[in-house]
A and B are shown apart, each in its own frame.
Chain A
Amino acid sequence: MKTPFLRNAIALAALAATGCLNADLKTSQICASSSSGQVPGTPPGVNSIELPTSLDLSNSLPDLSKKGISGTVLMQQVTLSTTDGDLSGIETVSATVNGSGSSSGLPPVTLTCNYQKPAGESGPLTSIAVPCSDGNLFDYLQEQQTLTLQVTLNGTLPSSAWTPDIGACFSAEIVVDYTQL
């Protein structure tokens, strides 16, 4: 009677332990922002500019390139804000991840972030949130922990110099398998 009990208990414990020594940590929101410096005012007739931005995540993410680490990093939105300009004339904003794809050696990322100015909105605007479709940046961040974004603004842009602050917010889930570290 004791032997089957012991055998079953050991089998159960072994089954529970197999492949279970891992950690699955998630955060609802990681936000990174960076100021790329002052942008000169846009002359009349020009209604589109590109703002390349680099977000250095090396101090806030673990080394994702280690064996045994997997997960998902989803970009939720890109934010554009300023303290010294008016963004109310901007009609559309789009953002893409730069440097990914076969030519760069980095994994391709399909990420689309688009903003369309709501109809009837007027008055000074200092912040715009650009929602993104789900695109997993995990493979990209395994290769490099600096995310390079190309943000394109269209519309009536500030005519005097202004300082954009560009950021991005992510949700992240990191799974660490201790047995492979």
Chain B
Amino acid sequence: MILPRGAMRSPSPPLPARRRALSRCALGGLWLALFLSFAPARARCDQSAPVPPPAPEPAAAPARPPVLGLQLGLGIPDGAALSAVYRPWYFLRLNAGPTYNYVGFGVQGGATLVAAHFPITPTLTGEGGYFFPGNVNARLAHFGINPPVGIQPLLNDVGYSFLSSQLGFEVGAPDTFVFFLRFGLAWLFPRATGVATAQSNSTTVTVNGLQGRVAIPTANLGFIIYIW
């Protein structure tokens, strides 16, 4: 026996029952909209269909420690130095920037090995720099110091390069702000290009320029702010 299409379905519910079902569906949709505003799960109005389990949230990527920062340091022989800092790994930090030593400006840079990613850690630093020639006489005059007249020409144009190795420690939040203090040994390579003159008895002596290498203890303190 052939039944007409739809004959196997259950008979349609009476009109009031359908309205109740629609109103239930609308109310459910409202709740669902509210729910969806908090969770990305999808649902259909069909209450009979099983709600699929919510898709697993993607695993949150671990926060990257900042690699760029700014460093402000004060020390001997590198003067007051402002540096851009690049930290490719937590244990290695590179820095470079301008510096000033009261006589003149210069450029400096260095590398620091950091022992641990910890609020306090020892460090080993190597630095180098170059100071453009400056007039030492003018700076000494600010303090009321006047070198002998014969020596003054030698001090009109004095600059130096330097290399240093320092052992120190850092304190602070290693990814935000660290304060550092270092001590070590520095090698200065001074150069003076003037001609000094000295007179003793009937002898006139002229010294034409001076250069060399001077090893001195070095100290450096400052801080680093990581910005990105």
Instruction: List chain A residues, Cβ under 8 A from B202.
Output: 34-36, 56
Instruction: From the candidates A10, A20, A26, name the one contacting B185 in the complex (CB within 8 A).
Output: A20
Cα distance, A56 to B209, chains bound together (Å): 20
Q: Is A125 an interface residue (CB 8 A)?
A: no
6 interchain residue pairs of minimum CB distance: A25-B212, A59-B200, A60-B205, A60-B198, A23-B214, A56-B203
Give the chain B neighbours of A110 by CB distance below 8 A.
none
Binary CB contact string for chain B from 184 to 226 against chain A (1 if under 8 A, 0 otherwise):
1101000000001011111111111111111111000000000
Q: Are A30 and B204 closer than 8 Å at their CB atoms?
A: no
CB pair A25 B208 closer than 8 Å = no
B201 touches A56 (CB 8 A): yes
From A1, A13, A57, give the contact of B167 (CB < 8 A): A13
Report B's interface with A, CB cutoff 8 A: 113, 115-116, 122, 124, 165, 167, 184-185, 187, 196, 198-217
Cβ A33 vs Cβ B215 within 8 A: no
Judge whether A32 is part of the interface by a CB distance below 8 angstroms.
yes
Contact A12:B215 (CB < 8 A) given known A6-B122, A31-B205, A59-B205:
no
Task: Please give the residue numbers on chain A whose beta carbons come within 8 Å of chain B beta carbons, in ascending order.
Answer: 1-2, 5-6, 9-10, 12-13, 16-17, 20-36, 54-60, 173
Nearest opposing residue in chain B for A178, CB measure: B215
Complex alpha-carbon distance, A54 and B116, angstroms? 65
One of A6, A10, A20, A33 near B204 (C-beta < 8 A): A33
What are 24 A-to-B residue pairs whose CB atoms are below 8 Å?
A2-B115, A2-B116, A2-B122, A6-B115, A9-B122, A13-B185, A20-B187, A21-B217, A23-B213, A24-B214, A25-B214, A27-B211, A29-B207, A30-B205, A31-B208, A32-B204, A33-B203, A34-B202, A56-B200, A56-B202, A58-B200, A59-B199, A60-B198, A60-B207
Residues of A within 8 A of B165 (CB): 12-13, 16
When chains A and B are docked, how far (Å) is the Cα of A33 from the Cα of B78?
Answer: 40
Q: In the complex, A26 Cα to B215 Cα: how many Å?
A: 14
B200:A20 contact, CB within 8 angstroms: no
CB atoms of B185 and A17 under 8 A apart? yes
B212 with A59: CB separation less than 8 A: no
Residue of A nearest to B201 (CB): A56
B215 to A5, Cβ gap below 8 A? no
Cβ–Cβ contact A10 & B167, under 8 A: yes
Given contacts A30-B207, A30-B208, contact A60 B200 (CB under 8 A): yes
* Shortest Cβ distance from residue A173 to the other chain B in the assembled complex, whole angstroms: 8
**Residue numbers in B under 8 Å from A35 (CB-CB):** 202
CA distance A54 to B200 in the complex (A): 11
CB nearest to A145 among chain B residues: B200
Q: Which residue of A lies closest to B200 (CB)?
A: A59
Alpha-carbon distance between A20 and B212 when the two chains are bound, in angstroms = 14
- Give Cα A10–Cα B206 distance, bound, in whole angstroms: 44
Tell me which residues across on chain A come within 8 A of B185, comparing CB atoms.
Answer: 13, 16-17, 20-21
Given contacts A12-B165, A32-B204, A34-B202, contact A25 B210 (CB under 8 A): yes
Query: Told that A16-B165, A25-B214 touch, could you supply 19 new A-B pairs with CB distance under 8 A?
Result: A1-B116, A5-B122, A6-B115, A9-B167, A13-B167, A13-B185, A16-B185, A20-B187, A21-B185, A24-B214, A26-B211, A27-B208, A28-B209, A32-B205, A34-B203, A34-B204, A36-B202, A60-B205, A173-B212
How far, in whole Å, are A1 and B115 apart by their CA atoms in the complex?
Answer: 9
Are the C-beta atoms of A9 and B215 separated by less than 8 Å? Answer: no
A56 to chain B, nearest CB (A): 4
A57 touching B212, Cβ below 8 Å: no
A13 to chain B: which residues have CB within 8 Å?
165, 167, 184-185
Question: In whole angstroms, how far apart are the Cα atoms of A12 and B122 in the complex?
Answer: 14
Residues of B within 8 A of A20 (CB): 185, 187, 215
Contact A27 B215 (CB under 8 A): no
Residue in A closest to B114 when the chains form the complex, CB atoms: A5
